């Protein structure tokens, strides 16, 4: 590793496993200190996959330290701005600065349009949109006050570029995140803060655990002709979390210093037709 983030601090949500853990480990390997949070508890009822645990977050702590990084980890719900702000404050008091925000946490319940309840629609929007907003609000002023500029990276989805069949609420939320990144880039640019969105397609994470695969299958039965909407161009159908983390790491560092308000797809071309 090149140490491209040495001396910087990154705040990462959803860090207990999957993409969030990969971001934490990758940035730590480049020298960053990590402020990590995760819900580590029950997910909303419509979500069919297993939730992360405190033990998962503890493993992220171990892996970050093994990569040579320092880390402050907390259990927090991104829907709770007060809890997120407390987590950032704890990390800031430990490391003395904040430079990077990675708003990674989110949920993805497969449901046909007419099976989405008001409660499940609200849960998705509260988590993926309001939670992403809370993540930025909890840390952005710290970056501004540092006077060094920084990078904010919102993890959207291929569904924020094209769509994800049988997930109207998820698609709406991820399009909102895409727009949020562009609007924040405009306002925060005067502080030399860059804001970009990252758009993974299918990624090999625990989001595919529990009843997720069978839930997707059940929704597909309602409209089989949508089955191949997100077929990739490349022979690799599913990315690894580290593939996304590599892009996040690049956006966090100086090599992307003029990149802002950009939507970066990591989907093997699946959203391009």
Q: What is the pLDDT of residues 9-41, one digit of tens each?
A: 999 999 999 999 999 999 999 999 999 999 999
For residue range 33-91, list pLDDT tens digits in order.
Answer: 999 999 999 999 999 999 999 999 999 999 999 999 999 999 999 999 999 999 999 99
CB burial of residue 234 (10 Å; 0-12, 13-18, 19+):
exposed
Place of tokens 């599913």: 238
Confidence at residue 2, expressed as pLDDT on a 0 to 100 scale: 85
CB burial of residue 156 (10 Å; 0-12, 13-18, 19+):
buried
The DSSP letter of residue 162 is: S
Q: Alpha carbon of 3 to those of 6, 23, 96, 240: distances in Å?
A: 5, 15, 19, 22
**Catalytic residue (one of 11, 92, 121, 170):** 170
The DSSP letter of residue 164 is: -
For residue range 182-221, list pLDDT tens digits in order.
Answer: 999 999 999 999 999 999 999 999 988 889 989 999 999 9
- Give CA–CA dist 58/74, Å, rounded: 10
pTM of the model: 0.97
The reply to whether 273 belongs to the active site is no
Q: Residue 225 corresponds to which tokens in the numbers above?
A: 């002709």
Confidence at residue 57, expressed as pLDDT on a 0 to 100 scale: 98
C-beta separation of 81 from 137 below 8 A = yes
Q: How high does pLDDT run on average in the chain?
A: 97
Average pLDDT over residues 126-136: 99
Confidence at residue 229, expressed as pLDDT on a 0 to 100 scale: 87
- Give CA–CA dist 169/260, Å, rounded: 26
- Give CA–CA dist 59/2, Å, rounded: 24
């Amino acid at each position: 590793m090149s140490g491209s983030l040495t001396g910087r601090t990154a705040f990462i949500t959803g860090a207990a496993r999957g993409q969030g853990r990969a971001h934490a480990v990758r940035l730590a390997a480049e020298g960053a200190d990590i402020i990590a949070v995760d819900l580590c508890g029950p997910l909303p009822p419509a979500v069919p996959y297993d939730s992360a645990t405190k033990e998962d977050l503890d493993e992220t702590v171990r892996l970050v330290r093994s990569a040579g990084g320092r880390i402050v980890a907390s259990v927090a719900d991104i829907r709770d701005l007060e809890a997120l702000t407390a987590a950032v404050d704890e990390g800031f008091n430990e490391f003395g600065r904040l430079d990077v925000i990675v708003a990674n946490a989110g949920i993805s319940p497969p449901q046909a349009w007419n099976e989405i309840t008001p409660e499940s629609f609200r849960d998705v929007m509260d988590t993926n949109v309001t939670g992403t907003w809370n993540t930025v609000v909890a840390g952005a002023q710290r970056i501004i006050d540092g006077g060094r500029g920084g990078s904010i990276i919102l993890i959207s989805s291929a569904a924020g570029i094209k769509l994800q069949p049988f997930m109207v609420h998820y698609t709406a939320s991820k399009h909102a995140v895409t727009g949020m990144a562009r609007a924040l880039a405009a306002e925060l640019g005067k502080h030399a803060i860059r804001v970009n969105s990252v758009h993974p397609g299918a990624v090999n994470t625990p989001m595919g655990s529990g009843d997720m695969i069978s839930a997707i299958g059940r929704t597909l039965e309602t409209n089989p002709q949508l089955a191949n909407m997100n077929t990739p161009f490349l022979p690799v159908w599913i990315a690894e979390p580290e593939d996304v983390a590599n892009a996040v790491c690049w956006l966090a560092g100086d090599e992307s210093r003029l990149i802002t308000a950009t939507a970066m797809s990591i989907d093997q071309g699946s959203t391009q037709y």
